[in-house]
Amino acid sequence: LLDRISNPKFTPDGKSIAYTLKVNGQIGENLMMVDHDAGNMRTLVADGARNRFPAMSKQNSLYFVSDRTGVDNLYRYD
């Protein structure tokens, strides 16, 4: 079966997109980033937890929800 990409959010400058990747057959969801122009994808958070719902601030900070502690909490990616 196929993997799932969801919740895409552009950075304020429009050059990158943060999104959630659910790899079929693996536990959790990964927080990913792709450079729009170069197409470079990188994994930001892949710890087996459900890391999802990325949101970008105007100051280019990335926030996301994760259940890594057993309940959903809000985190900032630095």
pLDDT in tens, 16-41: 999 999 999 999 999 999 998 888 99
Position 1 pLDDT exceeds 80 = no
Average model confidence (pLDDT) across the chain: 94
The 3-state DSSP class for residue 2 equals coil
Position 46 confidence tier, pLDDT thresholds 50, 70, 90: very high
For range 1-11, the mean pLDDT: 92
Rounded CA separation 36/65 (Å): 23
Which pLDDT belongs to residue 60?
Answer: 87
In the chain, the percentage of residues whose pLDDT exceeds 90 is 85
